Chains A and B, each alone.
Chain A
């Protein structure tokens, strides 16, 4: 499966050295992290609309429930700090890549859809988790945001493991 633009955008970010001069600020990171969660929620809604596979549907419901909870916590923190997240090139690339991926997914059905969705979820969580761990957490300077990202990463890593299990169960490679 070809990598999505979202994955490429994040992979590009990962290629930067940790001390890159153009690292993102707290408000940009908050915007991108929130955007990434919203993207996964939209993928999940698409899965619930198309898939009839119980494991895929269960995973999608978990994504909606968990990412909604994480983004609600992010929204509460933003309100508490009385700041406005900043849109940025990475958020825009993620959104564009996700739109392309949704267009690709919506044309599929049955096992083809399930595998495409599951594989995308695995790849998406892998690259998001790496980005959060190696870039966003080291870059943030506001402690509550750093702590929120650390806690969110715990959830996202569980999702990655769940996605890996889902892909294996679907036998997409065979």
Chain B
């Protein structure tokens, strides 16, 4: 099951180019029990856990539990959630292996990282 809460904003962004390349790469067809989703909470102005490790094709779901709105925005252009008010979630599916550092565009001292491993 890939998708997430129906009560929230969702944004799925495939980092398509490199993702397709990764899918076609040797070894791409090895055993994998399908896409997963990983939850990242936002509370007390921090992403928890600050770093998550997933496989290409998995989805990260951010949920804001603070009163203040937040975002999860890539350090390098490519993806970001919408504004997340309290109780709202957003999901992004990562197709590209690599390290994706991100921050809250409203409170830039809040930082996190998604590590995407090949499938």
Interface residues of A, Cβ cutoff 8 Å to B: 62, 65-66, 69-70, 73, 148, 151-152, 154-155, 158, 162
Would you call B66 and A62 a contact (CB within 8 A)?
no
For the complex, what is the distance from the CA of A65 to the CA of B107, rounded to whole Å? 11
Assess the A73–B106 pair: CB atoms within 8 A.
no
In the bound complex, residues from chain A placing their C-beta under 8 Å from that of B107 are: 62, 158, 162
Of the candidates A148, A155, A162, the one whose C-beta lies within 8 Å of that of B66 is A155
Contact between chains at A73 and B66 (CB < 8 Å):
no
**Contact-residue bracket for chain B:** 10 to 19
Interface positions of B from 41 to 98, Cβ below 8 Å from A: 44-45, 66-69, 85-86
Does more than half of chain A's interface fall in helix, strand or loop, or is it mixed? helix
Complex Cα distance A28/B38, Å? 43
Q: How far is the CA of A65 from the CA of B86 in the complex (A)?
A: 12
Q: How far is the CA of A62 from the CA of B68 in the complex (A)?
A: 9
Question: What are the residues of chain B within 8 A of A162 when measuring CB–CB?
Answer: 107
Given A65-B106, A69-B86, A158-B45, do A151 and B66 touch, yes or no (CB 8 Å)?
Answer: yes
Q: Would you give the shortest CB distance from A164 to chain B, in whole angstroms?
A: 12
CA distance A69 to B68 in the complex (A): 6
Q: How far is the CA of A152 from the CA of B69 in the complex (A)?
A: 12
Contacting residues, chain B, for A65 (C-beta < 8 A): 68-69, 106
Bound-complex Cα distance A151 to B44 (A): 8
Instruction: Verify A73–B86 contact, CB threshold 8 A.
Output: yes
